[in-house]
A and B are shown apart, each in its own frame.
Chain A
Amino acid sequence: MATTQGTAAPVAAGVVTAGRRRRWSAQGRAEARFGLLLIAPAMITIFAVAFLPLARTFWLSLWSINLRFADTPRRFVWFENFAQILQTERFHNALWVTTRVAIVSLAAELVLGMLIALVINRQFRARGLVRASVLVPWALTTVVAARMWQLIYQADYGVFNRILYDLFIIDSYKPWVISPQFTLWAMIGADIWKTTPFVALLLLAGLQLIPGDLYEAAAIDGASAWQSFWRITLPLLRPTILVASLFRLIDVARMFDLPLVLTGGGPGFATETLTLYTYRVLFQNLQFGLGSAVAVLAFLLVVLVSFIFIKVLGAPAGRDARGV
């Protein structure tokens, strides 16, 4: 209401209430139409690129389609695909892999990202250079980074082996990316390396929004650096942390190129993420109905997790911010 009135104000100024009301509606309708017209291109684009494919994927997920055989007819099977997927062990595995990556990566990236953000938020010489170089891993194409990590973890001459060997942590070189105990951690390590800068950048932006006099006041009251971090920095950073976490969760939910290149999802299915599994059902096995069902499930899961995240973390953060 307030905004509509605001925009209409120049014209409506000085008119009596009754007339103003009538005029406002005529004016308002015209404005609303114009407004709709203005947002139409954006809405149509979003509809075309986001909703249509989504609806189509959902529609496909209700069919049994196998392109492997030219003469197989497609059948409408209602929710059979979903029932089948939910019972598939490989789907549970993919879900579990993705969940573990999400939890571990996110936790590590938040801690490391916070440390980096705090450091590059300080005044020191060559700060610009440090800030720029921190961003390098994030700017690398994932496929390039994955190939690089493949070399780092390489079994015969990989630098990772060399370092651990020289530090007497291992007594012989190990093929990290295919050993079932380590492969997931190797992948998570590469992922943390790659996306921590992104989290750090977002947190840095958040840090810069915190008023400096709060720290001054805290210092005058005799608060230690530790206290002001816990009482000022962290609470005020909450909205930023929420955004960073959400971005990263969605990122992990569609993690594809890193496992594909680094481990191929192996050994076995030890590093097969949800998206990699979807791709294989869809494009390797050409089961379009079944694959679409996996994609729809993955989508619903991301929506659900995002929703919970915003509800749990979002609300109190808003109140705190207003309270200050």
Chain B
Amino acid sequence: MNDERYSPLANRLSRRSLLKGLAASTGVVLLAACGREMSGETSGSTGGAATTAGAGTAPTAATGAAVTTTAGGAAPTAAGGTSPTQAAGGAVTTVTWYAGRDTTGWSVKQVEAFNAQSQNIKIDYQEQGATTDDLRNKFVTVATAKDPSADIVSMDVPFVPEFAAAGWTIPMEDYLPQSERAAFFKGTIDGATYKNKLYAIPWFNNGPALFYRKDLLEGAGLPPPKSYDQLVEAARKLQTPEVNGYILQTVQNEGGMISWLEMLWAFGGALVDDNLNTVVDKGTAGVQSMQRLVDWLYKDKIVPESTLTMRTSGDAANAFAAGRGVFLRMWMSQLSVMDAQNSQIRGKWDLTTLPSLDGTKPGPGCLGTWNLGISMFSKKQKEAAEAIKFLTSQEQQKRSYLDGGRLPARSAVFDDPDIKAKYPFSDKLKPSFEALKPRPVTPYYGQMSLDAIQPNFGSAVSRQKSPEQAIKDMAARMKEISGQ
């Protein structure tokens, strides 16, 4: 009861100073928030929709149409005099595309091209977080709630069986008839198929390559490495305090884990066998490949420890493009980064296939096709299919490769003279792309990767567990998950 009489006024945290404090801190938060730009404008204007602009030559800068179907109000028509809410072909339907992060910016251009030539369907392109895992989490949340807000969804190879088994995506059998599938790489079609049904259409192909600094290797008189030993030797020889020997993602997520998976395959191992039984702990390949990677980090020191925090493939590609690496294991989808405006290595790089253990043939790469599928809960499945048809067409896949550096899922694109002229290494890549290996095709893969493979991989490369222990724990948990 004494409280009020005492406590001198001057000592109190006055309301004014509290307000001042709050105002100051809010300012900081606002400043921080303003640093990020929105990727998709919600511009209502899709002007120029009536022009028959060819793909890739969209005249306007309207990114990703409007969020809602009120986009109809913004579709000017050639037929003058009609109500602005009525386009020539009727009302405009906007389909929402749940996509992964695209640092090259090409997807947005593709959307612009589609929106420019389509009268009554517009795509609203929405990236869901920075990593593949983010996209998966977001779509899974929406799908388990049976929410119709996603129409098109970008799918990494392991998503296909997972989403199909859960009943979240529709079969696409009718949208890409059997006869048209021969135009695609067989591996990409297999990767989009679950239990003999097609659940997605391959959008662009993706696989790894070994990028290297042509100038540095030629300067030392070294050929591009064919085996791991040659790679290590060259990396050791050429690396300096500023330029690391070998950059590859070793972060604890899907991207980092794949770096090891490709080594596991090169050592003759596998995660599961043809009958989906866990075999990663059989033989010595698992432990040896993991040990090799750990040695690269801490013993040979050709792989910098900063790769342990490279969450996106863009992080690793940018480090190489900034001139900080001699070698880089990278997805071909990052091709355009190397010759981008701000690249320090323009004209100083080349690429080849991944190394293998003995160097007699190219090392196995991981199939990283991205597919487009349709949500089971979408209310605009027909329109979504129309959009997908455009995005995966021969013409668009050629454009994507030429202008966006994205490898085609349609093998015929590789034989196009324009492509051969621009990318002399295309012939070299085609066979290795036909040999890309998928990750285990099972609906359990998603959980296996998140709960068993990634954490144990992460524990090993951060030296929390020995490679032996990590492989043992990984196998035990994989068996638990798949119920073996």
**Does A320 count as interface, using CB distance less than 8 angstroms?**
no
Contact between B443 and A267, CB atoms less than 8 A apart: no
Contact between B140 and A266, CB atoms less than 8 A apart: no
Chain A residue nearest in CB terms to B3:
A209
- Contact string against B for A residues 210-237, beta-carbon threshold 8 Å, 1 for contact and 0 otherwise: 1111000000000000000000000000
Bound: A264/B140 CA distance, A? 19
Contact between B459 and A132, CB atoms less than 8 A apart: no
- For A, the interface residue count at a CB cutoff of 8 angstroms equals 51
| Contact A286:B306 (CB < 8 A) given known A70-B165, A208-B13 | no
Bound: A209/B253 CA distance, A? 51
Interface-side segment among B107-115, B351-359, B403-411, B447-455: B447-455
Bound: A197/B32 CA distance, A? 19
- For B, the interface residue count at a CB cutoff of 8 angstroms equals 55
**Cβ of A56 to closest chain B Cβ, rounded Å:** 15
Q: Which of B265-284 contact A (CB under 8 A)?
A: none
| Contact A180:B464 (CB < 8 A) given known A133-B24, A155-B308, A268-B456 | yes
Question: Which residues of the partner chain A approach B456 to less than 8 Å between Cβ atoms?
Answer: 268
Question: Which residues of the partner chain A approach B5 to less than 8 Å between Cβ atoms?
Answer: 211
Q: Which of B83-123 contact A (CB under 8 A)?
A: none
Contact between A140 and B165, CB atoms less than 8 A apart: no
- Contact string against B for A residues 278-291, beta-carbon threshold 8 Å, 1 for contact and 0 otherwise: 00100111100000
Chain A residue nearest in CB terms to B252:
A266
| Contact A136:B28 (CB < 8 A) given known A128-B17, A144-B33 | yes
Chain A residue nearest in CB terms to B143:
A67
Bound: A100/B14 CA distance, A? 36
- Contact string against A for B residues 1-19, beta-carbon threshold 8 Å, 1 for contact and 0 otherwise: 0110111101111101110
Select which of B25, B141, B306 is within 8 A of A132 by beta carbon.
B25
**Does B461 count as interface, using CB distance less than 8 angstroms?**
yes
Interface-side segment among A170-178, A247-255, A292-300: A170-178
Select which of B6, B165, B167, B447 is within 8 A of A285 by beta carbon.
B447
**Does B162 count as interface, using CB distance less than 8 angstroms?**
yes
Chain B residue nearest in CB terms to A205:
B13
**Does B21 count as interface, using CB distance less than 8 angstroms?**
yes
- Number of A-B residue pairs having CB atoms within 8 Å of each other in the complex: 151
**Does B76 count as interface, using CB distance less than 8 angstroms?**
no
Bound: A11/B350 CA distance, A? 95
| Contact A211:B3 (CB < 8 A) given known A136-B25, A178-B308, A180-B462 | yes
| Contact A268:B465 (CB < 8 A) given known A69-B165, A132-B20 | yes
Question: Which residues of the partner chain B approach A87 to less than 8 Å between Cβ atoms?
Answer: none
Chain A residue nearest in CB terms to B465:
A268
Q: Main secondary structure on chain A at its contact with chain B?
A: loop
Bound: A60/B25 CA distance, A? 41
**Does B304 count as interface, using CB distance less than 8 angstroms?**
yes
**Does B421 count as interface, using CB distance less than 8 angstroms?**
no
**Does B127 count as interface, using CB distance less than 8 angstroms?**
no
**Does B137 count as interface, using CB distance less than 8 angstroms?**
yes
Select which of A140, A175, A264, A268 is within 8 A of B25 by beta carbon.
A140
Q: Shortest 10 CB-CB distances between A and B: which pairs?
A: A139-B25, A70-B167, A211-B6, A132-B21, A268-B459, A267-B462, A155-B306, A128-B17, A180-B464, A266-B252
Further 15 A-B residue pairs, CB within 8 A, beyond A68-B162, A178-B462, A270-B459: A68-B166, A69-B443, A131-B17, A132-B21, A132-B22, A133-B24, A134-B21, A180-B459, A204-B13, A266-B458, A269-B455, A283-B141, A284-B447, A285-B451, A286-B140
B residues at A contact (CB < 8 Å)? 2-3, 5-8, 10-14, 16-18, 20-26, 28-29, 32-33, 137, 140-141, 144, 162, 165-167, 251-253, 304-306, 308-309, 443, 446-447, 450-451, 455-456, 458-459, 461-465
Can you show 20 pairs from A to B with CB atoms below 8 A apart?
A67-B166, A131-B18, A132-B25, A133-B24, A134-B21, A139-B22, A139-B29, A141-B29, A175-B305, A178-B251, A178-B462, A201-B13, A208-B11, A266-B462, A267-B252, A268-B252, A268-B462, A268-B465, A284-B446, A284-B450
A residues at B contact (CB < 8 Å)? 67-70, 121, 123, 127-129, 131-136, 138-141, 144, 150, 154-156, 174-175, 177-180, 183, 201, 204-205, 208-213, 264, 266-270, 280, 283-286
